[in-house]
Each structure stands twice: as C-alpha cells, then as structure tokens.
Amino acid sequence: MAEAKEPEAIPFELTETDLENLAGGDEKFTPHSWEDLKHIIAENNLSILKRKPSDLRRYITWTNKTKASFASITDFVCSQRLHWKPLPEVSTATGPLLECRSSVPFSDSNDYKILLNDWPYGITSDVTHIIVWSKVRLPDQKPEGYLTAESTALVKAFVETTFPERLAAYGDAHARERVLWFRNWTGLQSVRGLEHVHVFVRDAAKDLLDEWTGVGESQR
C-alpha cells in the first residue's frame, strides 16, 4: 500500500471562503465579475474575495517554498520584486523600515512601486489586478487595521490621479467607472510587513499597464 502523503502546511490563515473554495474545486468555481467586485468593495466584505482553487493551492505551495528560502515573504518581495533595501532598524509594529524621500504616502514616486499582482484573485479576464507598494506606512486604526479617514483620502486621491486620469487621457469618458481599489485590514493581509493597496482596472490596454508598472524602465 502506498504511503499516504502528508497534507501541506497552510502558511497563512484561510478564510471560510477559501476553505469552501478548496472543497469545491475548480469545476465549481465562478470568478469574480466586475459587478461582483464593485459590490464586495462597496460593502467592505473583503473576506469573501477568492482565488481559483488550483491557484490557491499553488499559492500555498509557493509560500511554503519561498519561506524556506527567504527569511519571510516580506523579505522576498522587498529583495526580489521591489528591489528595496530595508534599513538596519526593524519596527516590531510595522515590519521593515525603508528610507523614504517623503513622509507623506504616494507623494514621491521613489517611495512607491506599481506591479501586477503575482497571485491575483479569481477574476474575469477583462479585469487586471494591480498592487501599489509603498515604502511609507498608511496610518490605520488599531487593533483591526482599518484605514483612517485621512489615509483613505490619500489613497483615493492617488488612485484617481494615477489610474482614471490616464484612462481619461485616452479618451475614455467613463474612466472612473473602470477603476476600483481597496486596502485589506491587517487580518486579511498575506504580506503584513509591507504597505500595499489593491487596484482593479477593467479593460486596461497593455501600453497603459506597461506605463503604470514601469515595464522597460530601470528599477527605481
């Protein structure tokens, strides 16, 4: 008799939606549509966002392997994806500290980076999942980690300037209707050591995605 394979360790807390999703498998999975995303974000019901079960399993495997090779997922993202070198000091409250040109989030382009999400939620093909990484932490409310009103206003202003305004420059009269954003509260963050905001853009042209993510540019 073949020896039973040990179940893979779960490297992060799974939501009830994740558990139901894994039990159902890909054949029962329905990706999030744009209207679904709008409703979830408007209701702040972020815990029901889900990945395709096979993608979630791959994400679990990748996380375990990455943690075995790097000190943490935060360390991997800093060194391999963002190319940011943390300062020697470490904050137990926020994770690595990074040298910033400005103390105001998103006010200096050297203090943030826009990348496509390597592990996007299970969304329909017309939607692109983007992550905005910030060296500057966003003030939030403890202990849950919800954004303060001031932080929400900062993120909203940045997102609207960066995404809808560029879409509008391409002649899109409904640009604001094609962009959504949210920032997970602490309990839902899989990379808690680095500040990041999720952005969804509908029907984004490749040249705009390349512009936003700096494809072809030297690393900052």
pLDDT value of position 12: 82
Bridge pairing between strands 90-91 and 127-134: unpaired
What does the pLDDT read at residue 216? 55
3-state secondary structure of 23: helix
Report pLDDT digits (tens) over 168-204. 988 778 899 999 999 998 777 778 789 999 999 999 9
Q: Residue 8: is its pLDDT beyond 90?
A: no
Q: 149-165 burial, b for 16+ CB within 10 Å, e for fewer?
A: eebeebbeebbeebbbe
Q: What is the pLDDT of residue 119?
A: 95
Nearest to residue 178, comparing CAs of 163, 192, 190?
Answer: 163
Average pLDDT value for residue range 4-8: 53
Please return the burial class of 78, using the count of CB atoms within 10 Å of its CB with bins 0-12, 13-18 and 19+: buried
Q: Give the per-residue pLDDT at 217.
A: 56
pLDDT digits 0-9 by tens, 120-154: 999 999 999 999 999 999 999 888 888 999 999 99
First-residue to last-residue Cα distance in the chain: 55
- Confidence (pLDDT) at 208: 93
Q: What is the pLDDT of residues 17-46, one digit of tens each?
A: 999 999 999 999 999 999 999 999 999 999
Asked whether the predicted pLDDT for residue 1 surpasses 90, the reply is no
Whole-prediction pTM value? Answer: 0.90
pLDDT in tens, 93-111: 777 889 999 999 999 999 9
Supply the pLDDT for residue 11.
80
Q: According to the model, what pLDDT value does residue 24 have? A: 94
- Within a 10 A sphere around the Cβ of 210, how many other Cβ atoms? 12
Q: What are phi and psi of 95, to 5 degrees?
A: 95, -150
Residue 3 CA to residue 78 CA, distance in Å, equals 39
Specify the DSSP element, H or E, that contains 128: strand 127-134
